[in-house]
Amino acid sequence: MPIRIKARGWRQRWSKAEATDLVANYFKHGEWTPLLTMWLGDGKAGRGEVLSGEYKLVISAKEPWRLGLSKNTRGALVATGKETFRKLREAAGAYGELLDLLRAHKWIDVKLATDDGFRAAYMLKTRKRNIDALPRKMYKRNDGEIPTERFSYAEDGQRRGAVVVAGVVMYLHLVSGRGGSLLAEYFTRNVGKTLEVAGRLESAGLRPNVVRFNADYVVYIATTDFLRLAERDEAVRRAMALYLAEKAKNGTPRQREVTEKILRRHPLFPLPIAFLLP
């Protein structure tokens, strides 16, 4: 005789304090799933912090001490570090696919912290470069084409730090900051020339950016793009090496510090490179 089992619906209720204590207890024993559930509901979204490399798991709570360190009177700092977000992603398991379909904004934060490919695609998709806002149509000539002119290396004068990229003379600029960076810049006060230079660089497979500096437009190539170019262009690579060698030898203490960080971070420029100086 077959046996039939019928499940009846039931509901378990906990107070907020009881639920928080349960989550904290599971978390202490290495179980992240309840914490993930609570964070998706009451957690603080911090996409800006994630994109800047600051990984913090913060949950809103009336009694934050039940979960972790009190970030403020209404929030608990439960955990920090990139590994925290890896644990959250592992805890989601197959439910991660559902969260993908729902496009849950906090789940996107988890993926930005743990998936380099997803992060790169997100940055390319969402970053609005200033160049995209320039009024290109106002400066088109010759049946819709932006006028071009020959950029001469001699026009701007040869000086240390100059580099020719796609026929455009640009100048290297060492930027202090977290880890330091090296930019290639072109200055002009003419919007038409700004668009022309940016167009040339884009045609060469680069992603130029444009910012205003006083009365000038500055077209610049960021470090990552510039390093890719240096990998395949010996002249660019040599110009970068000469510039960095000069800063390492004669720069300010801060410039020497930043230069050393760049040289150690990118094997494209082996230490020492002082012998490259003329």
pLDDT tens digits, one per residue of 190-246: 888 888 888 888 888 888 888 877 778 888 888 888 888 888 888 888 888 888 888
Flag whether the pTM goes above 0.75: no
Report the share of the chain in percent with pLDDT over 90.
4
Chain-wide mean pLDDT for the chain?
75
Structure tokens at 231: 């990998």
Closest CA to 182 of 246, 123, 272, 250: 246
Q: Which residue has the higher pLDDT, 271 or 97?
A: 97
Structure tokens at 33: 């799933």
User: Are the C-beta atoms of residues 188 and 211 closer than 8 Å to each other?
Assistant: no
Structure confidence at residue 130 (pLDDT): 56
Helix (H) or strand (E) holding 76: strand 75-80
DSSP-based three-state secondary structure for 42:
helix
Q: Which residue has the higher pLDDT, 256 or 5?
A: 256
Distance CA 226, CA 266 (A): 12
Structure confidence at residue 154 (pLDDT): 36
- The mean per-residue pLDDT over the stretch 82-87 comes to 91
